[in-house]
Amino acid sequence: MQVNNDYLNGLKWQGDQSPAGKVDGNSKAQLEQEDFFALLTQQLAYQDPFKPADNAQMVSQMTSFSTSEGINNMSRQLAGLNDVMTSNQALQASTLVGQKVLLPSNLGYWDQTEPVEGAIAVGEGAQNVKVRVEDEKGQLLREISLDGSKRGNVPFSWDGLKDNGEPAPVGIYHFKVNGLVNNKREDLNALMFGRVGSVTLGSGETPTLVNLSGLGGIPLSQVLEIAGRKSA
């Protein structure tokens, strides 16, 4: 007995032969869950009784569809969550305008209005710590000594004056630190504060930036500490 493919023909739309994928003028390029089960029902109704559909294959198809549907739903939910997180991050970043934030950088900006502040990551301890203030050409302008034994994060500041007492010009300066660790002089990490002038809002693909006076923008995620607002 030869069985034809009538069940396939039964799946075809016999009504209005309008362009495929158009329903009431709206594009419907993908099968939804209801469409999938309608087709599966038609397939079972018109299958060859002597060659029934393989159960394992049907289960595999249903599992694949459910997995695909679940991934699509998860993608939509993650997109919505990302929008909420971006908005929340932007709100948090906007509160930083006018405040000083600690940066993972040894660059400080001197604007001749307030001292340049920073912190030294000493760790377990160091003695005779010295801070060298250099211009962008590497010329030494001032050396600041911190007496005694230091541990942890040690704050320091520079009043913008050179060794001869003259004020340095407005600009970016390098702060290089060293100290005695186990009786050996070693370089230490200098972390500098910068004043937040504005915030550039990010998106799902670009980070939110805090724009620092004289230093440019850095990702919000790199801010290590918030010092506080400038006093009136």
User: Are 102 and 193 in contact, with CB atoms under 8 Å apart?
Assistant: yes
Model confidence, pTM: 0.61
pLDDT, position 83: 58
Cα–Cα distance measured from residue 149 to residue 126, given in angstroms and rounded to the nearest whole number: 6
pLDDT, position 111: 94
pLDDT, position 29: 52
Q: Which residue has the higher pLDDT, 107 or 74?
A: 107
Q: What is the pLDDT of residues 151-191, one digit of tens each?
A: 888 999 999 999 999 999 999 999 999 999 988 999 999 99
CATH class of the 99-229 domain in this structure: mainly beta
User: Tokens 């302008």 map to which residue?
Assistant: 141
Whole-number mean pLDDT of the chain?
77
Q: What is the pLDDT of residues 9-49, one digit of tens each?
A: 554 455 544 444 444 544 455 556 566 666 666 666 656 56
pLDDT, position 167: 95
Q: How confident is the model at residue 220 (pLDDT cuts 50, 70, 90)?
A: confident
Handedness of CA 151, 153, 158, 159 (dihedral sign): negative
For the chain, first and last CA: distance in Å? 97
Share of the chain above pLDDT 90, in %: 41
The count of C-alpha atoms lying within 13 angstroms of the C-alpha of 101, restricted to the half-sphere facing its C-beta, is 26
pLDDT, position 53: 56
User: Domain coordinates of the chain in residue numbers?
Assistant: 31-94, 99-229
DSSP state for residue 200 in the 8-state scheme: E
User: Are 122 and 151 in contact, with CB atoms under 8 Å apart?
Assistant: yes
pLDDT, position 65: 59
- Statement: residue 199 has pLDDT above 70: yes
pLDDT, position 147: 86
